Structure 1
């Protein structure tokens, strides 16, 4: 089956919308990191929590109370190297993921024009922009994973392993949305590169005729 520019246009439209919507939902929701303490005590649902990029919420199912993230380490004079690393990683992923949304919007506008105009260079540029945006998304997710691991390690250091051993800690569906967005954005960028090759091939055939 021959790949056509029309089929690629439909695919990039669908994949682009999915990538944009899922990443916006991921950034705006609070289920990146879930702490389930239901096994710790019978009435421990209030101790459970789920966190997003900007705030953390308690474990109440219907009316959770949420608080914005604040510096948990007190005065800057008391910072250890691990504290500085955690704060630096937090500042990194809260910048990278919204930046990816901006790159995605720019790529979408350029891509829409390039498909209508069937312009080789603009299609190629759109593919590069979206691949760069996918790289930013991947970097943001990776930094968040590293941040979560470092924060858990710091919690083990401050507390005791016995305190945390019965706590179920896992990533939530907000991170799953971010991963889906990354894959969709990656496929969209590759599709624009393929579209540029198709346009170039059609132009060569027209010139040969």
Structure 2
């Protein structure tokens, strides 16, 4: 397989991995972990701890319950800080699913680039994936900001003394989203490298079929 074929195959696998990781992250419920340190009463520890995703929260051993719908909360009589949290949550629920759709569209662009062997299409698709990775990164950063502000708002409402034994952390769902961002960006970089290789002429890369290119 030529160098161009290897680059396109790696880019295709990277895009597939990016989609799988982000889809698993969006669908899972381990973005945010809340653990209550229970000194001396370990029986209630599991009931107090919780983990949540983008769509629902799971408390203790109980079944998961949906989070407040941020798109239906505009009419709620809430404080400015709470409305800001709702806006951030709404942004996350828009940005990350849109990133999934963009990855699929990138696959289509990658297939066209492979068939046409066009430097311009490869450049476009490479930049497209880089922008998609940036969008995923923006969604992750917004979620982190949303989570930190939500905890601060909870501490303000209930008082710092009630939050002393509460430990928060981010779970593996967020790690999957980070991995998706990295894989998508890597695919974009590989496509840009392939475009550069194609521009150097036939000695570096010969004719490739779509199967050889991985799309």
1:140 aligned onto 2:155 = no
Paired with 1:33 and 1:156, the residues of 2 have a C-alpha distance of 16
The 5-angstrom pairing of residues 6-17 of structure 1 reads 6-17=5-16
Counterpart-to-counterpart distance in 2, 1:107 and 1:119? 15
Distance apart, 1:179 and its partner CA: 0.2
Q: CA deviation at 1:170?
A: 0.3
Match of 1:53 in 2: 54
1:173 CA displacement: 0.2
Within-5 A mapping of 1:63-78: 64-70=62-68, 76=75, 78=77
Number of residue pairs aligned between Structure 1 and Structure 2: 200
Change (3 A) 1:75 1:112: closer
Cα distance in 2 between the residues matched to 1:66 and 1:16: 31
Deviation (angstroms), 1:176? 0.2
Cα 1:85/1:120, change in 2 over 3 Å: same
After TM superposition, the structure 1 stretch with the greater mean CA deviation from structure 2, 123-132 or 82-91, is 123-132
Provide Cα deviations, 1:66-124, integer angstroms capped at 9, x if missing partner: 1111169x894632110111000000010000000111100011112312332211111
Kept in 2: contact 1:16–1:108 (CA 8 A)? yes
SS in structure 2 opposite 1:202? coil
Greater alpha carbon shift after TM alignment, 10-19 vs 183-192:
10-19
Aligned to 1:89: 88
Displacement of 1:197 = 1.1
For structure 1, the 5+ residue unaligned runs are none
- Quote the residue 2:98 is aligned against: 99
CA deviation vs aligned residue, 1:44-79 (integer Å, no higher than 9, x gap): 21121110001111232xxx511111169x894632
Q: Which stretch of structure 1 is more off in the superposition, 84-93 or 108-117?
A: 108-117
CA drift of 1:205 comes to 8.9
Q: Which moved more, 1:87-96 or 1:113-122?
A: 113-122
Cα distance in 1 for partners of 2:202, 2:9 equals 21
Contact 1:27 1:53 (C-alpha < 8 Å) held by counterparts: yes
TM-superposition CA deviations, 1:103-150 (whole Å, max 9, x none): 110001111231233221111111111111111101100100000011
Residues 96, 71 of structure 1: alpha-carbon distance in 2 compared, 3 angstrom cutoff: closer
TM-score normalized by structure 1? 0.88
Give, in whole Å, the separation in 2 of the partners of 1:185 and 1:164.
38
TM-score (norm 2): 0.86
